[in-house]
């Protein structure tokens, strides 16, 4: 597809997202509402926002540890190398749909390691994170159906969505815990057979090891939950624990099903959050909370990744 056409599609999509968000809040004095939100913040609220920011380092630290443990079958790297690779990967991923290009930055930093090995390790980690998202989506839908909660009125037939999420869990879980089936299917492609030594190691992980990677992904997800809960509370949206798991489970499920062509999934998550919490009648607060967490979890790590990559190149040139 022509690059100019792709760029045009992205611009149009971004404009549509922004327009839809505007429609969500245009019935109010949006500017005044946003001013009111920020003017009502107290000193302890800024402390809580700072805590959310610090949790970002825990989030990506867990991801780095997971990446290091996955890679250990082929290569041994330090935690410092792993966390640097992860942040540089964040810089490259921001320009790809659904932030799937994180392996590009990791391969760029870990140049001495085979690109196929880096890509395979990253994809396994991404699959574990996807599986954790689907697990919590199932929990959220199960809570929604069993409690008939009024957090959102968008589902006429929630049982069908619950069944869909359950089916996706079975499919992704099957691929994740039985990677040999997937690997050997790929190896039937003649052009890929020569790369066999560089990605066959993915099929050699034990169930215990795969469970560890999934467990780390689940912990990362819980960090997301804590971050969002704190920000929603700071900006005036009080949710019960059940409501929180329903809301975040469904929000990340929707944004997973609908990958955004915009950098860092901007727009998709914001619209979904406003829609799911429409019964709370505070779209401005939901929008602000979603944007703040986007800046903390996506933009800052990407900027830090760019800085690390730039400094790495300067260091290499000096040598």
Residue 25 included in any domain: no
Residue 310 confidence (pLDDT): 79
Residue 186 included in any domain: yes
Write out pLDDT tens, residues 271-318: 666 566 655 556 677 777 877 888 888 888 888 888 888 777 544 444
Query: Which residue's entry shows tokens 């199960």?
Result: 142
Residue 60 included in any domain: yes
Beta-carbon contacts of residue 199 (< 8 Å; ≥ 6 apart): 116, 117, 119, 120, 183, 186
Confidence of residue 65 (pLDDT cuts 50, 70, 90): very high
Nearest to 159 by CA among 139, 178, 135, 142: 142
| Terminal-to-terminal C-alpha distance of the chain | 40
Residue 240 included in any domain: yes
Q: What is the mean pLDDT of residues 138-146?
A: 86
Residue 1 confidence (pLDDT): 46
Q: What is the mean pLDDT of residues 49-58?
A: 94
Burial of 167 (0-12, 13-18, 19+ CB in 10 A): exposed
Helices (H) and strands (E) in the chain, counts: 15, 0
Residue 34 included in any domain: no
300 three-state secondary structure: helix
Q: What total number of domains does the chain contain?
A: 1
Residue 140 included in any domain: yes
Distance between CA 83 and CA 95 in Å, rounded? 20
C-beta of residue 295 within 8 angstroms of C-beta of residue 266:
no
Distances (CA, A) of 43 to 40, 47, 200, 211, 242: 10, 7, 53, 41, 28
287-294 long-range contacts, Cβ below 8 Å, gap at least 24? 287/21, 287/24, 287/25, 288/34, 288/37, 288/235, 289/228, 289/231, 289/232, 289/234, 289/235, 289/237, 292/49, 292/52, 292/231, 293/52, 293/227, 293/228, 293/231, 294/264, 294/265, 294/266, 294/269, 294/270
Q: What is the mean pLDDT of residues 128-133?
A: 93
Residue 1 included in any domain: no
Return the half-sphere exposure (C-beta side, CA atoms, 13 A cut-off) of residue 75: 22
More reliable by pLDDT, 216 or 190? 216
Return the half-sphere exposure (C-beta side, CA atoms, 13 A cut-off) of residue 282: 17
Distance between CA 29 and CA 31 in Å, rounded? 6
Q: Is the dihedral of CA 281, 284, 285, 290 positive or negative?
A: positive
Q: Which domain holds residue 213?
A: 43-318
| Residues listed for the chain | 319
Residue 19 included in any domain: no
Nearest to 306 by CA among 85, 83, 80, 88: 88
User: Looking at the predicted structure, is the pLDDT value of residue 212 above 90?
Assistant: yes
Distance between CA 2 and CA 12 in Å, rounded? 15
Write out pLDDT tens, residues 153-183: 555 667 788 888 999 999 999 989 988 777 7
């Amino acid at each position: 597809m022509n690059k100019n056409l792709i760029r045009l599609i992205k611009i149009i999509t971004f404009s549509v997202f922004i327009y839809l968000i505007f429609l969500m809040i245009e019935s109010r004095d949006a500017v005044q509402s946003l001013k009111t939100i920020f003017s009502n913040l107290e000193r302890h609220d800024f402390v809580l926002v700072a805590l959310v920011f610090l949790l970002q380092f825990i989030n990506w630290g867990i991801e780095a540890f997971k990446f290091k443990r996955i890679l250990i079958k082929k290569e041994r790297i330090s935690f410092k190398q792993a966390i640097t690779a992860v942040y540089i990967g964040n810089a490259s991923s921001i320009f790809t749909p659904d932030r799937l290009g994180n392996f590009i930055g990791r391969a760029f930093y870990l140049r001495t390691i085979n690109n196929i090995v880096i890509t395979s390790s990253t994809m396994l980690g991404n699959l574990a994170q996807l599986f954790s998202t689907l697990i919590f989506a199932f929990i959220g839908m199960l809570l929604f159906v069993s409690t008939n909660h009024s957090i959102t009125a968008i589902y006429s037939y929630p049982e069908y969505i619950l069944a869909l999420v359950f089916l996706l869990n079975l499919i992704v879980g099957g691929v994740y815990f039985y990677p040999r089936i997937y690997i050997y299917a790929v190896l039937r492609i003649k052009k890929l057979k020569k790369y066999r030594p560089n990605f066959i190691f993915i099929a050699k992980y034990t169930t215990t090891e795969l469970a560890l990677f999934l467990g780390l992904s689940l912990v990362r997800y819980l960090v997301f939950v804590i971050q969002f809960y704190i920000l929603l509370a700071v900006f005036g949206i009080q949710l019960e624990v059940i409501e929180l798991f329903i809301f975040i489970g469904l929000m990340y499920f929707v944004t997973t099903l609908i990958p955004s062509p915009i950098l860092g999934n901007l727009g998709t998550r914001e619209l979904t959050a406003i829609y799911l919490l429409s019964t709370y009648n505070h779209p401005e607060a939901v929008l602000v909370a979603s944007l703040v967490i986007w800046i903390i979890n996506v933009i800052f790590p990407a900027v830090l990744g760019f800085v690390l990559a730039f400094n790495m190149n300067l260091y290499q040139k000096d040598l």
